[in-house]
Amino acid sequence: MVLRKRKPIGFFAAAAIPVGIAAAFAFQATASAAPVASTHLVSVASKHPTNNPSFVVPPGKKHHKHRPSVEMRAYKWAQTQKGHPYEWGGTGPGFDCSGLVMMAYRHAGIHLPRTTYGMLGSRKLVRVRIPKEGDLAFYGTGHVELFRKWGYTYGAHDSGTVVSLMHYNSFWKPTAYYRIRTKR
């Protein structure tokens, strides 16, 4: 067996690594302190995939932007109607309970029946025990609102009120919750 001698590493070669690291940190410090031209920022932003219309997603990779659920889109639209008056049979600008729910889901791309009874008979709804924000909250069989969180629903309550968030209690609370069936 032949033993090989190791060549000694020169002083400058061994010191080059720490000096290189120190130089990188020094460069970062001066680069972050230096002003950046606005044209540079524009050129960098235009090369980002989300800002570049010619960007092509490679095969096997999915490029998705997060899109809110149907329930959240309906709830967010209903919130934009806050303060509109209750109007029996109204579908805007004044609303009754089912008119607001129907229009909220229509703006989210789902067509529900016009009345509370029609909604309860719709095949688009599936009953849930634990509702999420934007699900339908039915009070008995004659009133519907959008579920916000436990203790709160959002909707057109009754004559003389406006579209708003309602805090329900043990005497007047939802009896059933439904979610929109999105898959067949």
pLDDT for 37? 46
Looking at 11-15, 125-129, 155-159, which range is the least confident one?
A: 11-15
Q: Which residues neighbour 127 within 8 Å (Cβ) at sequence distance 6 or greater?
A: 176, 177, 178
Please list, in sequence order, all residues whose beta carbon lies within 8 angstroms of the beta carbon of residue 159, skipping any fewer than 6 positions away. 86, 88
pLDDT tens sequence across 48-106: 555 555 555 556 556 556 788 899 999 999 999 999 999 998 888 999 999 999 999 99
**pLDDT band for position 172 (50/70/90)?**
confident
Hey, is 176 helix, strand or coil? strand
CB 113 within 8 A of CB 122: yes
Q: What is the 3-state secondary structure (H, E, C) of 83-94?
A: CCEECCCCECCC
**pLDDT tens track for 103-122:** 999 999 999 999 999 999 99
Across the range 130-152, mean pLDDT stands at 93
Distance (Å, whole) CA 139 – CA 157: 11
Report the alpha-carbon distance of residue 180 to residue 102 in Å, rounded: 12
Query: In 3-state terms, the chain is what percent helix, strand and coil (to 5)?
Result: 35, 20, 50
pLDDT at position 39, please? Answer: 46
Tens digit of each residue's pLDDT (9 = 90 or more) over 1-28: 566 665 555 555 554 455 555 444 454 5
